Amino acid sequence: MNIKLTYLIPGLFIILFSCNSAPSGEGAQTRLFDGQSLQGWIQKNGSATFQVVDGMIVGRTVSGSPNSFLCTENDYTDFILELEVWVDPELNSGIQIRSHSMKEFNDGRVHGCQVEIDPSDRAWSGGIYDEGRRGWLYDLEDNEAGRKAFKINEWNHYKIEAIGPRIRTWVNGVPAADLIDTVDSSGFIGLQVHSHQKEGLQVKWRNIRIQEVKTK
């Protein structure tokens, strides 16, 4: 098991290799997306479009737009998030967790941990990137099984577990990232349409469900 830890110290990140965090109880799994509307969601940054089509959220690129995010109106602390995603092979995307958008931080730029959706040859899907702030926290360079888990031009199942400072991810049931990060303990969940010069590239999400967890 390869567990990375990051602690924010002015000008310095320390990477260690141990962790502990134990859930004391899990609530019922609930749907974040009702399959019919974008109720409970709000767009932040960018001008990419988000629509509900046949029970899916479909995001489409708009040429010249910066990264765009469809974000939950509510914040979440400790949870297990599951969803399915399909992405155009030309388009990078991601799932924000425990993220923020504040006027005082880069004029509202969305920032926080992002679970990568990466159909490129690099194949770091399931890795953890700190959007708008620190950059890569956990890539898949040393996880060959994880790099092979994502299927191009198919629906892919993501499971994201954020309990205490520990964040773990799975892509199609294959372990991807395992990170300890103490910077953000709660925030919104967001669906990214990455900036792209080409118009109309799509990323689709469905079956978005969350199970909130109480910790000791």
Note whether residue 11 is domain-resident: no
Note whether residue 9 is domain-resident: no
Note whether residue 17 is domain-resident: no
Whether pLDDT at 57 is above 50: yes
Note whether residue 51 is domain-resident: yes
Supply the DSSP string of the chain, one letter for each residue.
---EEEEEETTEEE--------EEEEEEEEES--SS--TTEEEESS--EEEEETTEEEEE--TT---EEEEESS-BSSEEEEEEEEE-TT--EEEEEEEB--TTTGGG--BEEEEEE--STT--TT-EEEETTTEEEE-STT-HHHHTT--TTS-EEEEEEEETTEEEEEETTEEEEEEEE-S-S-BEEEEEE---SSTT-EEEEEEEEEEEEEE-
Dihedral over alpha carbons 167, 171, 174, 178 (to 10 degrees): -20
Which residues form the domain of 199? 25-215
67-81 pLDDT per residue, tens: 899 999 999 999 999
Note whether residue 1 is domain-resident: no
Count of domains observed in the chain: 1
Whether pLDDT at 18 is above 80: no
Whether pLDDT at 121 is above 60: yes
Where residue 128 sits, what CATH number does that domain have? 2.60.120.560
144-155 pLDDT per residue, tens: 999 999 999 999
Mean pLDDT (the chain, rounded): 89
Note whether residue 4 is domain-resident: no
pLDDT at 22 (0 to 100): 44
